[in-house]
Copies of this chain bind each other. A is one copy, B any other.
Amino acid sequence: MGRGTASRVLNDSPHVSPAARDAVLAAVAELGYVPNRAARSLVTRRTDTVVLVVSEPEERVFGEPYFAGIVRGIGERLAEAGLQLVLTMAGAAGGHERAAAYLTEQHVDGVLLLSLHAEDPLPSLLEARGVPTVCGGSPATSRPAYLVDIDNLAGGRSAVDHLVATGRRRLAVLAGPQDMSSGRDRLVGALDAAEAAGIDRAEVAVAVGDYSEESGRRAMAEVLAAGPPPDGVFAASDLMAVGALRVLREAGLDVPTDVGLVGFDDAAVCRHTDPELTSVRQPVARMGRVMVEVLLGRIAGREVPPDTVLQTRLVVRGSTAR
């Protein structure tokens, strides 16, 4: 029995007689044979491996529910396709160089990029190297070639629309990082909605954070220190909203009576706060799946849509009750 036949069986290609197939499988079982992936990759030029690069430090990645959702979606879809996921956190110093080196050494079929900040060299570097790449979310200043994102503009709008609809007029926005389109768009959407409701953009108090709970606390404190307390607050992430909730309470303001509070993500934490948190749900798991879908298309050389935008949905809970 030649190597050719064995190879055919293991890659279940046609034109193999049942007898030969059985013989090969029996031999494989008996010898505990496991094909050498390096050798296979060397000739097929594929690795059946996809890497996810998150440009944040480990603490952030593991602390924020947003990432868990995305990774789940990615992992599920990749498993269906029979591919392995390599997770890399390139937040720390030197992480980027190491990631770039790894990625270009031709042992991944494609790359998923998450949480891109401004001036990240990775997308263009990878494109230049010919590694198929799909981004989840984009930096504020540039637009990656293949992008899956949620409609942050509409999400921000829906949050403020709701605050206004429940009678709030003195608004504050605790914005996310302004070097990411998600941070910027949520803010812009919120301001658009305020304006549409007849509120001057300049009258909306804005403080910038980085999506973390700690930054939410800081931003909320900043807003309270700067002027009269708002009666409606939109935080760009649930974690920031949780931080804000604490600061508001410490300042003697009741949520939702004195202040309506809206978060973003619709993470599990929303149901654990008191009151429960109204939030803009983003379909994180689906976003992960779609990213993989687009990437698989690119790897296969198929024509794929360069941009995919997923919609958000407002989930109303106690923190904005009237």
Identify the stretch in A100-108, A181-189, A193-201, A220-228 within 8 Å (CB) of chain B at 4 or more residues: A100-108
Q: How many copies does the complex hold?
A: 2
Q: Which residue of B lies closest to A93 (CB)?
A: B79
Contact digits for A90-129, partner B, Cβ 8 Å, 1 yes 0 no: 0010110010001011110000000000000000000001
- Whether B75 pairs with A67 at a CB distance below 8 angstroms is no
Closest to A39 in B: B42
A87 / chain B contacts, CB cutoff of 8 Å? 86-87
Minimum-distance CB pairs A-B, first 4? A62-B68, A38-B41, A87-B87, A37-B105
Q: Which of A's residues lie within 8 Å of B, judged by CB?
A: 34-39, 41-42, 47, 58-59, 61-63, 65, 67-68, 71-72, 75-76, 79, 84-89, 92, 94-95, 98, 102, 104-107, 129, 213, 246, 268, 272
Q: 18 new A-B pairs (CB below 8 Å) besides A38-B107, A84-B86, A213-B272?
A: A34-B105, A34-B106, A38-B38, A38-B41, A39-B42, A42-B42, A58-B71, A58-B72, A59-B68, A61-B62, A62-B68, A63-B68, A79-B98, A84-B98, A86-B86, A86-B87, A87-B87, A246-B272
